[in-house]
Every structure is written in C-alpha cells, then in structure tokens.
Amino acid sequence: MKLNESKKQALNPYLPTYEYIPDGEPRVFDGRLYIFGSHDKAGGNEYCQNDYVCWSADINNLVDWRFEGCTYRKNQDPRWTGEAYDNLFAPDVIKGIDGRYYMYYCMAGHDSIAVAVCDEPAGKYEFMGYVHDEFGNEPGAKNGDWIQADPAVLVDDDGSVYVYSGFNPTFTFREEKEYVGAYVMKLKPDMITMVGDRKIILHKKEAGFEGHNFFEASSIRKIKGKYYFVYSSHACHELCYAISDYPDKEFVYQGVLISNVDYGYNGNVQPLNHVGNNHGGLVEINGKYYIFYHRPTNRTMFSRQGSAECLQMDENGHFMQAEMTSCGLNGGPLRGEGEYEAGIVCNIYNTKLSNVDIMDMDSNRKREEKLPYITQEGEDREHNPGTYITNICDSSVLVYKYFDLDDTKHISLFIRGKGKGTIYIETETGKLLATVQNQEEYWNNVDTDIEKMSGVHAIRFRYQGEGSIDLFKFILK
C-alpha cells in the first residue's frame, strides 16, 4: 500500500506518518526551520523511547522536510544505565553567543538539566555536562529540591542566557521533590554555569491563571520586545501562553494557543479527539506565526505525532486559539484533487459518546476504547508511511480540514473490514456529498461521484452500521 506523493502539499502531521516526534521545538537557523523534540516509538509503552533525531525544512518551502538523522543518543549521557526508563525527554536547542549550538534536556529518572553541544544545528551533539552553580551543585538533584523537566532556553538580545524549567502535576509524582511551578535560572556565557538563584515565574497556583495553571512543557520566545512563555496547563491537552516585559518576572496569562482535542475552539466543550498531553513552541516564519504541538496515536499517549497550525496575532500582540486542521503549514486549504493518507485526520469522535467531562480521565478512557484511532502497519521504523485508521464503528466521525472543492467531482476510499454499513461523506455543516458502502474484508477501493460544491470545506466521514472498518486513504478527483 503506497501513496502517490506527487504534487506535494504541507499536511498535518507535517512529517511522514511513520515518524513520532512530540514536544517539537521549532527553531530557525540560517534560513532553515529545525524541529527538536523527543522521539516516541510507534505503539510504544513509555514516553520518548527512541534517541533524538532532527528534521528540517527551508523556511520558503515548508512542504519538503529533510531527515537530518540521529543527533544525540541516550547512551551518550554518563548517567544512562541501559535499564528501564532512562529516556530522553523534551529538549530545546539554541545558538550560543559563541556561534555553537547547545541542546538542553532532562533524562527520565534524573533531575539535572544536561547540556550537549555541536558546531551545527543538526549535527552530532556531544555531551558537555550538567547545569550547575559556581560551586558545582546541580539544581534539582537533591531531595527536597525543585523538580526539573522540559527545559527551554533563551539567549536575549544583550547576550544573557536563561533556562526555564518546572513540573507541577495535580497528582503526587515524586514525594522527595518540591513542586513550585515554572522557574528560570540565568547562566553565564559558558552556557552551563548558573548566575545567582533560580526565580519562580509562575507559582503552582498563580493568580490569574485559574483553570490554566502551569503543568509542564516550558517554551520561551521573544517577540517584538516582549517575552512569550508557552506551557502545558493542568488541562493537559492545551498549550497556553503568558507575556511579560521581562524574561524572569511578571508573566500575565493571555489564553490558549491550541488544544489537541479542539476544546474551547469556537466554544466547543467536548473532546474531538483522543485526550493526551501537549507540548510545543512558537515560531515566526516570513511574517507568519505558527504553533507546533502534538497529538496521540495508536490508542496510547506514548506514540505522539507533531502537528502545526498558523496563528492569528492581533494589533496588541495577542493570539487567537488555533483550530486543529489537516493543512496546518500549507498556507491555505488542500487541493480538491489528489491522494490523501487517512492519518491526516484532525478530529476523531463518536456522536454517541460526545457527552464527556474532559477532565474525567476514567470516563475519557472508556470513551476512547470505542473510538477509531490512528495506527500503522508493521514495526517502528524510519521509512515507508503505512498509517491507517482502524475501529471505525457505528456513529464514528472522521474530519479532515480543509479542502478547496470547487472542481471536485469524485471520491474514492480505500477501506477494509467485516463491518456492514454506510459511510456518509459530508461537509462540516452536515451537507451530504455522497455515500459509499464497504464491500470486502480486505483492502478495496469504493468510489462514487460527489455532490457539486464550491468554496472551501471540511470533509467528514460518518459511519453508520454494524461491525467496524478501517480507512487507509482517500482520493479526490
């Protein structure tokens, strides 16, 4: 089962669908956009099981992504044991004042922020050491110390270096550590030695952040002279942001940038996807702003794929919440002709299971057991896309946004399954375009003409019937 990759467009996920890079930090160096993230495994049973790899794209061509290879292996960290859970969590990379590139990360089970260095952004990084004070003490390492996770780094206009960290769960995670919220530490020009003490920038119950308190996933950018701090809130599925005139104090809550279940978008109060954590960062490319984030697949939170959406900024420097789409970096809707992988779906839900409290994890888990989900053929790998959507059962809905349907006359679905029912092909408003029925237990094409439409629309597949089916791809003509 192969897809025709001619006439390429930017899609979500923006990387090939065999790739699982969550926690994506977008960084622009010398005209290229680099994605630095952790690295999940297809169908994994832990977070971040693979070594770091990097992808990049020309800032003038966000369609063609180049695989840069492995940049750092977990066994390069001296504290890696080779056992259990010594995985590499979310990193960040910055160009230092000396022109070299510095990677900051935390390894699971260890509470120091490690630093690796390289002469190029996507080269082979070498371990440098752990962030420490002038006496060699490592913040976060001792019992009772503030817990560290997901470091973010900023080199300010004056050359000052700041590293941001913190972890603030709603549950007891490690009793020997203290959860204070998000904090920052200033570094010397050597990029590894602290200057003075750490400063809390968001207390664990910061006033003005109610309902959106800091959880994890620190990310920092300086935009038009102000400091934008992006983080994952206690709601888990959303990335929020706060703004300050200073790098180390007085951050004020501004709103939600993206929810990977579209919660809150246009007043929506139901999860329109599998609920999972979120992590990402902001980037400006050619005058446009984008938020990078991730979504769960394989019916687990341990196989996450990166997506990106364009953000709208108002005259006051505030962003509106972005909507999940299938065309995030494309600069507009997808063409109403061509072959599309099922895995670019942006909303998955079931109309019989919509009334769920998003913060009730047990209810959500039971709901998600009955939902369709993205998975892939074969083992975890670095080649050959093979994702498809399985468990499409009665009242399941798959949504793809958006397509220019001006000249679209025909649709073909590549499906399989023992299910006996009808797939209703609709727009986002429920206007019926066509219907098809599954014919075979094995992969087969079913096709039909569609109702003439004009303009840009979402395409929604809604299944009614017995049993379940799988969807591999669809073709518009």
Q: How confident is the model at residue 202 (pLDDT cuts 50, 70, 90)?
A: very high
pLDDT digits (tens, 9 = 90+) for 16-56: 999 999 999 999 999 999 999 999 999 999 999 999 999 99
| Average pLDDT, integer, range 125-147 | 93
Digit-coded pLDDT (tens) for 390-435:
999 999 999 999 999 999 999 999 999 999 999 999 999 999 999 9
Q: Are 38 and 22 in contact (CB under 8 A)?
A: yes
Res 174 pLDDT > 80: no
pLDDT at 355: 75
Residue with tokens 């270096």: 161
* Percent of the chain that is helix, strand, coil (3-state, to 5): 5, 45, 50
Average pLDDT rounded to a whole number, residues 230-237: 97
| Distance linking the first and last C-alpha atoms of the chain | 20
Residue with tokens 């709103």: 255
For residue 84, the model assigns a pLDDT of: 62
- Asked if 17 and 305 count as a contact pair (C-beta separation under 8 A), the reply is yes
Q: Select which of 206, 216, 368, 426 is catalytic.
A: 216
When pLDDT is averaged across residues 328-344 and rounded to a whole number, the result is 97
C-alpha–C-alpha distance, residues 200 and 293, integer Å: 25
Q: Could you tell me which residue, 439 or 24, shows the higher pLDDT?
A: 24
pLDDT band, residue 177 (cuts 50/70/90): confident
Among 165-174, 214-223, 237-246, whose mean pLDDT is lowest?
165-174
Can you give the pLDDT at residue 16? 97
Q: Which helix (H) or strand (E) holds 439?
A: none
105 neighbors 114 (Cβ within 8 angstroms): yes
266 SS3 class: helix
Beta strand 334-335 with 396-404: parallel, antiparallel or unpaired? Answer: parallel
Query: How far is residue 342's CA from residue 457's CA, in Å, rounded to a whole number?
Result: 17
pLDDT at residue 6, as a whole number? 44
| Pair of tokens at residue 391 | 């468990």
Instruction: Please say if 216 is a catalytic residue.
Output: yes
Q: Which residues are CB-neighbours of 141 under 8 A, at least 6 positions away?
A: 111, 112, 130
**What is the average pLDDT score of the chain?**
94
Tokens of 257: 């940038």
Reported as a pLDDT band with limits 50, 70 and 90, residue 102 is: very high
Q: Is 23 in the active site?
A: yes
> Which of 23, 25, 248, 323 does the annotation list as catalytic?
23
Peptide bond just before 125 cis, omega within 30 deg: no
What pLDDT is recorded for position 112?
A: 93
What structural domains does the chain harbor?
25-332 (2.115.10.20), 338-476 (2.60.120.260)
- List pLDDT tens digits, range 339-381: 999 999 999 999 998 777 777 777 778 888 899 999 999 999 9
Contact 47, 89 (CB under 8 A): yes
- CA separation (Å) from 400 to 171, 348, 426? 35, 10, 11
pLDDT tens figures, 251-305: 999 999 999 999 999 999 999 999 999 999 999 999 999 999 999 999 999 999 9
**Residue 352: how many other CB atoms lie within 10 Å:** 12
Q: Which one-letter amino acid corresponds to residue 146?
A: W
**What pLDDT is attached to residue 1?**
47
Per-residue pLDDT tens for 303-325? 999 999 999 999 999 999 999 99
